[in-house]
Structure 1
């Protein structure tokens, strides 16, 4: 699968960091930039709260289905948590079985017609701040998308720090 050159979209997302209305202005720009560069049908940003053992939703492209007030408990023993939050490595789920493995709300996700995901860690100063999450139809995301997506996710550091 060929993707467009991500540099113009990356440039737009980076420029949004300088605009007023943060962090919302950046989150909207990041959603648009990743839609152009990689594609998604659902886009969320979660802020990791290690003290509470939760990932709290900071942004959602579908606030009716996934409101910003929502959260997901962190299962510290799950391999997804170790990979994404502890090791800081992206996770790509390619099909419905992967979604079932990774997400406790997999039935809701399937009901929305989504069957692949890409979770991009956002880290600062050696610790996880959260994740940028993209979902789409089965087979949409690749490991190359995760490499590109990591560049976009790194831009989310100041915006996620502002969520505190």
Structure 2
């Protein structure tokens, strides 16, 4: 049985919407998004990945665990693999249900598993038919399920102002 959010998401969605309109962007909005996702869907590790298609690079822009998973740095976008096909090209969430999925999907799976994360979901943030990046939630095995897709995509849509700001200001550094 999938773990589904028991908390009413409406006040959390409203809080993220208000935070995205407040000063201090994009950090204020991303922090509110982190807190709202933790309270509704749940996560141990939350990261925001931003894609710079023009430069062919990706960057971890935000993380709730900066010691284990720091923000910053750039890596090449790899135009192959399950993440690229599902999240970037198709614009659908990718669900990793258990330890075996984590090991298969992530080269740094030992670190991820050491944090108690044996399940994950990568949620695309899209604008005008293009994936600008993703919200990455990691937690216990079985935490994430397709039934959560509408709520996850709603949070991703609320993240759009932050992603547009980041992608239009590529010289800014991650917080």
Looking at structure 1, the residues matched to 101 and 57 of structure 2 have their Cα atoms a distance apart, in angstroms, of 21
Among 115, 124, 128, the residue aligned to 1:125: 128
Secondary structure of the corresponding residue to residue 62 of structure 2: strand
Instruction: Summarize deviations over 1:44-97 as a string: whole Å, max 9, x none.
Output: 101012244332011100111111114454331202211100110011111011
Equivalent residues of 1:92, 1:146 under 8 A apart: no
Corresponding residue pairs, total: 164
Number of the residue aligned with 1:63: 66
Distance 1:104 1:112, change over 3 A: same
Runs of 4+ aligned structure 1 residues displaced above 6 Å come to none
Number of the residue aligned with 1:156: 159
Does 131-140 or 105-114 show the bigger shift?
105-114
- Uncovered stretches (5+) of structure 1, i.e. residues with no partner: none
TM-score (norm 1): 0.93
Among 75, 81, 88, the residue aligned to 1:85: 88
Number of the residue aligned with 1:75: 78
Q: How far off its partner does 1:2 sit?
A: 4.2
Distance 1:105 1:74, change over 3 A: farther
Secondary structure of the corresponding residue to residue 131 of structure 2: strand
- Uncovered stretches (5+) of structure 2, i.e. residues with no partner: 170-175
Number of the residue aligned with 1:18: 21
Higher relative contact order (CA 8 A, sep 6+): 2
Q: How far off its partner does 1:146 sit?
A: 2.6
Instruction: Summarize deviations over 1:81-118 as a string: whole Å, max 9, x none.
Output: 11100110011111011112222211211121110001
Pairwise CA RMSD of aligned residues?
1.4
Q: How far off its partner does 1:162 sit?
A: 1.2
